[in-house]
């Protein structure tokens, strides 16, 4: 493709100008494609801060929940603090049960969020309930904050007939709920990032949601190495769209430490390159996360452009139930992190210092959460899957193509013929609603 | 990606329009008379094709046409009187379709690389001026981004009409299209969908496109269940099929044969109309042989059928006299996914012989899928093996193109072989 040369662009009629450019003032001593000043000193650079220091990390509470000097805490009352804390505690409660349930073979897969509770719950708390959320897979806490029920969580992980996220089609932890403005999770990493730019642009164009809602997009520091990260941030910046990108930098992408993921200053250093307002926050400090995301959200709406927040945290749990992280990091390192920098403990100590929390409340909360989770688990465990015929629905909207219709008929024929005499199918059919009768008719 | 566009016709336009005042460029939109021929030259058969509807009455009676401005509840109007047509080439018809889509649907947007000034093939000429830069805009040069952005818009129920500048450059978006767009409805249990997404992209050879301005990637998408893949052959088809694609409740990849942008000219109804997806069209009826194709090769097939029926003197020796009365059924498949098996099976059951023609390479091309299904369903009816005339299993080599594409002589040879098997 021959692209018009810059000199042509400069002389071109108005149609050639960038759709959303406000026009760049030009002076004679600038090159036509940049406002960069001319210098004669040969001066390479490799830092966004300009003085060789790293981008600072915004924090409000120290490791034992005491406000730092000069910290301006976000306005929260006791009830809100309780809600934050119980949501933060709910995550490990659910994680422990479902992790063990996977170990017993009752569900096929699971991913915990240990260590990232403050990042996820704090972000959820700072967003508007109607903001569109596009996640990676470790953001169940956002759904829970918005009222997604424990039964719905269990239904998805067990893939039972109540699974509204995906009718049992996707692996566990791939949640989704339009009612809660949470887009269905998919496994391919970073694909949600350019999608978030499109979602945000649609919000900007919708009269009922313009200036009210943003698209909030979560991803890990590993996913940020995908080309879709580059595409997404660039799009939301050049096609101004209120998208808030929240990078969970937890130090690992499965076994790969972040030192092998990038050579720059984390993910935050990339934001300015795209012309995006950027902040790095202590992701284990829930109050700092709330302040950061509230302000980032405000900027998104005011500027109608992308904002990037990098939350620094630590993945305390294994990557997933298919991973033993002690194969690539020391158990002691993880134990240290859990003890020294625990986001839940930090906030609990803060609440205690305010007189908002005590041991009795802690015991009561933990017992209640455990009981709620176990009740939902037991209910889900005995439920059947959707009808077998759902294997073939929802591939297309509108009229069903002939090939899918024919293939349903073919499975129907085979199930009728072998469903009772081929043991692997016989056992499996009993797990579906109506025991697969919908296909055996 | 390093892309040079050797399409000198498009380069000519691009450089010309940059210096032209907008009004002049706009006036050019609806005119075919002043445009130079494409650098590759018109395909001889396109200029004279019987399958192009150059009269108003014929255009208004296009088979399967559904007027989208009529109330569904009222009885269908059979009288076409009162409707107007205008002479358009393919890019003008595509522009017309997008203009209608934008005018009728406030949630529709058009975007891609260089679409704001009219597009490198002029398909979006004047749309930015007509509908505003918030609705017709350039994106940065990122195909995966364009697809992902379109998916995001469609997730919110908006109508996203995205352009990938050449089908050769759709592969960076393959993940977004195959893993995301195609699977979103299914994986979300029907609670989300991206039915509002249409990805337009120029395809097939252009005379001098070389490796990366000639490709026909429809076969790669044929296995991406959840997507629809559509390829028109002419201006009327392009407009009607594109409007259907934009309004279809599924993500559609709409591949436009780029050599036909200027060379195929028809009288196109100016009203809003649709042509059905998933349905092939029988262009000529016959009982001796079925020739199935789509896009540019439709015209090569038409030429080859003429050559079979009345070979020029040099070709008389290669076409046995007995074959010259053969009645060949020519079918334009139009939709690659899902494809119209019923029409093809019905035809082959009658003719007993099938030749499939496409520009993409043979191995695992769309023709492989079709011939396997036809072999299964028409086994007892077949009088000859299903023959495929395709590009070779090589990349599209620049100086070798005339020997790469399935041109009329290769199609003629395949028809003779199949008829004499």
The pLDDT tens digits of the residues spanning A61-77 come to 999 999 999 999 999 99
B287 and chain A: CB distance < 8 Å anywhere? Answer: no
Nearest to B280 by CA among B225, B246, B241, B254: B241
Catalytic, out of B143, B218, B359, B401: B143
Residue A1 to chain B, least CA–CA distance (Å): 3
Mutate to test the interface with A, among B149, B252, B339 (most CBs of A within 10 A): B149
Residue that terminates a domain, selected from B239, B274, B309: B274
B91 and B214 in a common domain: yes
Classify domain A78-382 at the CATH topology level. Rossmann fold (3.40.50)
B306 and B378 in a common domain: yes
d(CA B21, CA A15) in angstroms, rounded, equals 10
Q: Output b/e per residue, B57-86; b: 16+ Cβ within 10 A.
A: eebbebeebeebeeeeeeeeeeeeeebebb
B286 and B270 in a common domain: no
Residue B29 in any domain: the answer is no
Q: Within chain A, which residues score under 70 in pLDDT?
A: 1-28
Dihedral (Cα; B293, B294, B298, B301), 10-degree rounding: -20
A402 and chain B: CB distance < 8 Å anywhere? Answer: yes
Gap between the terminal Cα atoms of chain B: 47
Residue A427 to chain B, least CA–CA distance (Å): 25
Contacts of B25 in chain A (CB under 8 A): 15
The pLDDT tens digits of the residues spanning A129-155 come to 999 999 999 999 999 999 999 999 999
Determine whether A397 is exposed, middle or buried from the number of CB atoms within 10 Å of its CB (0-12, 13-18, 19+): middle
B300 and B189 in a common domain: no
The token pair at A229 is 């990260």
Residue that terminates a domain, selected from B236, B252, B274: B274
Cβ B192–A184 below 8 Å, yes or no?
yes
Residue B168 to chain A, least CA–CA distance (Å): 12
Q: Give the Å distances, CA to CA, from B176 to A65, A195, B173.
A: 43, 9, 5
B138 and B196 in a common domain: yes
Catalytic, out of B213, B300, B358, B404: B213
Residue that terminates a domain, selected from B274, B304, B320: B274
Contacts of B160 in chain A (CB under 8 A): 198
d(CA A117, CA A125) in angstroms, rounded, equals 12
B313 and B268 in a common domain: no
B321 and B297 in a common domain: yes
Contacts of B192 in chain A (CB under 8 A): 176, 178, 183-184
Residue A191 to chain B, least CA–CA distance (Å): 7
The pTM is what?
0.91
Domain count, chain B: 2
- Each residue's pLDDT, cut to its tens digit, for chain B (421 residues) gives 444 444 444 433 333 333 333 333 333 334 444 444 444 444 557 989 999 999 999 999 999 999 998 766 665 555 566 899 999 999 999 999 999 999 999 999 999 999 999 999 999 999 999 999 999 999 999 999 999 999 999 999 999 999 999 999 999 999 999 999 999 999 999 999 999 999 999 999 999 999 999 999 999 999 999 999 999 999 999 999 999 999 999 999 999 999 999 999 999 999 999 999 999 999 999 999 999 999 999 999 999 999 999 999 999 999 999 999 999 999 999 999 999 999 999 999 999 999 999 999 999 999 999 999 999 999 999 999 999 999 999 999 999 999 999 999 999 999 999 999 9
- The domain ranges of chain A are 78-382, 388-439
DSSP A3: P
Cβ A16–B338 below 8 Å, yes or no?
no
B232 and B121 in a common domain: yes
B396 and B378 in a common domain: yes
The answer to whether residue B143 is catalytic is yes
Dihedral (Cα; A183, A185, A191, A195), 10-degree rounding: 0
The helix/strand/coil state of A280 is strand
B176 and chain A: CB distance < 8 Å anywhere? Answer: yes
CATH code for position B345 = 3.40.50.920
Q: Which residue has the tokens 């003779």?
A: B416
Widest pairwise Cα distance in chain A:
85
Interface ipTM > 0.90 = yes
Strands B136-138 and B159-163: unpaired
Residue B32 in any domain: the answer is no
**Which residues form the domain of B151?**
46-274
d(CA A431, CA B3) in angstroms, rounded, equals 54
A301 and chain B: CB distance < 8 Å anywhere? Answer: no
B248 and B119 in a common domain: yes
Count of CB atoms situated within 10 Å of the CB of B147: 33
Residue B226 in any domain: the answer is yes
B290 and B235 in a common domain: no
B122 and B52 in a common domain: yes
The answer to whether residue B213 is catalytic is yes
Contacts of B277 in chain A (CB under 8 A): none
């Amino acid at each position: 493709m021959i692209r018009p040369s810059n000199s042509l662009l400069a002389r071109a009629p108005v149609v050639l100008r960038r759709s959303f450019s406000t026009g760049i003032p030009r002076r004679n001593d600038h090159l036509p494609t940049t406002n960069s000043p001319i210098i004669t000193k040969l001066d390479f650079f490799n830092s966004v801060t300009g003085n060789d220091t790293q981008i600072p990390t915004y924090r409000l509470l120290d490791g034992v929940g005491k406000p730092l000097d000069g910290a301006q805490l976000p306005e929260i009352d006791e009830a809100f603090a309780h809600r934050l804390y119980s949501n933060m505690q709910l995550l490990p409660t659910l994680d422990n049960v479902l992790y063990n349930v996977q170990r017993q073979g009752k569900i096929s897969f699971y991913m915990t969020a240990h260590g990232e509770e403050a990042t996820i719950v704090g972000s959820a708390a700072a967003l508007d309930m109607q903001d569109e959320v596009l996640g990676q897979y470790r953001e169940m806490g956002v759904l829970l904050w918005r009222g997604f029920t424990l039964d719905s969580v269990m239904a998805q992980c067990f893939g039972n007939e109540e699974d509204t996220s995906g009718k049992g089609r996707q692996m566990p932890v791939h949640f989704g709920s339009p009612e809660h403005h949470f887009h269905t999770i998919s496994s391919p990493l970073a694909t949600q990032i350019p999608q978030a730019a499109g979602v945000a642009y649609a919000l900007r164009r919708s009269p009922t949601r313009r200036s009210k809602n943003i698209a909030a997009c979560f991803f890990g520091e590993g996913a940020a190495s995908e080309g879709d990260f580059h595409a997404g941030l660039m799009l939301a910046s050049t096609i101004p769209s209120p998208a808030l990108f929240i990078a969970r930098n937890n130090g690992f992408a499965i076994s790969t430490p972040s030192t092998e993921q990038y050579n720059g200053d984390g993910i935050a250093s990339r934001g300015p390159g795209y012309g995006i307002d950027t902040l790095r926050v202590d992701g284990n400090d829930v109050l700092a996360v709330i302040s950061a995301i509230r302000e980032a959200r405000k900027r998104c709406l005011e500027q109608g452009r992308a904002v990037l927040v990098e939350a620094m945290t630590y993945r305390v749990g294994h990557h997933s139930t298919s991973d033993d992280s002690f194969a690539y990091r020391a158990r002691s390192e993880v134990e240290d992190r859990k003890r020294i920098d625990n986001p839940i403990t930090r906030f609990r100590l803060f609440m205690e210092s305010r007189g908002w929390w005590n041991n009795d409340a802690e015991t009561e909360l933990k017992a209640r959460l455990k009981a709620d989770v176990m009740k939902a688990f037991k209910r889900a465990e005995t439920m059947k899957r959707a009808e077998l015929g759902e294997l073939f629905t929802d591939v297309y909207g509108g009229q069903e193509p002939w090939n899918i219709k024919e293939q349903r008929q073919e499975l129907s024929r085979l199930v009728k013929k072998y469903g009772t005499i081929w043991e692997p199918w016989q056992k499996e059919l009993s797990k579906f609603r109506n025991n697969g009768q919908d296909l055996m008719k | 990606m390093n892309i040079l566009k050797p399409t000198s016709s498009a380069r000519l336009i691009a450089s010309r329009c940059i210096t032209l005042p907008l009004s002049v460029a706009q006036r050019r939109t609806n005119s075919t008379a002043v445009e130079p021929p494409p650098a590759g030259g018109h395909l001889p058969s396109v200029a004279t094709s019987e399958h192009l509807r150059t009269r108003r009455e014929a255009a208004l009676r296009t088979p399967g046409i559904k007027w989208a401005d009529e109330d569904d509840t009222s009885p269908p109007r059979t009288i076409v009187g009162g409707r107007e047509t205008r002479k358009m080439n393919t890019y003008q018809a595509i522009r017309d379709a997008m203009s209608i889509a934008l005018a009728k649907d406030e949630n529709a947007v058009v975007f891609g690389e260089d679409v704001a000034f009219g597009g490198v093939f002029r398909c979006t000429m004047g749309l930015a001026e007509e509908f505003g830069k918030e609705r017709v805009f350039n994106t940065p040069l990122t195909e995966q981004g364009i697809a992902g952005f379109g998916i995001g818009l469609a997730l919110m129920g908006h109508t996203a009409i995205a352009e990938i500048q050449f089908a050769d450059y759709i592969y960076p978006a393959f993940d977004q299209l195959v893993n995301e767009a195609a699977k979103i409805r299914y994986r979300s249990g029907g609670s989300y969908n991206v039915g509002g997404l249409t990805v337009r992209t120029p395809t097939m050879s252009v005379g001098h496109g070389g490796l990366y301005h000639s490709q026909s990637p429809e076969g790669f998408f044929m296995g991406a269940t959840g997507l629809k893949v559509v390829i028109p052959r002419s201006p009327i088809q392009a407009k009607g099929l594109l409007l259907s694609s934009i309004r279809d409740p599924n993500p559609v990849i709409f591949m436009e044969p780029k050599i036909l942008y200027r060379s195929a000219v028809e009288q196109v109804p100016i009203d809003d109309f649709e042509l059905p997806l998933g349905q092939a069209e029988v262009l000529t009826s016959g009982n001796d042989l079925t020739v199935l194709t789509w896009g540019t090769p439709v015209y090569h097939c038409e030429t080859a059928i003429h050559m079979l029926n009345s070979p020029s003197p040099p070709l008389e020796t290669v076409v046995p006299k007995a074959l010259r009365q053969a009645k060949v059924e020519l079918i334009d498949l139009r939709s690659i996914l899902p494809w119209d098996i019923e029409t093809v099976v019905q035809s082959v059951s009658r003719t007993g012989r099938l030749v499939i023609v496409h520009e993409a390479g043979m191995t695992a091309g769309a023709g492989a899928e079709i011939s396997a299904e036809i072999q299964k369903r028409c086994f007892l009816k077949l009088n000859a093996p299903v023959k495929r005339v395709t590009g070779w299993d090589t990349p599209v080599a620049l100086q070798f193109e005339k020997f790469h594409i399935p041109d009329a002589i290769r199609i003629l040879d395949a028809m003779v072989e199949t008829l004499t098997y």
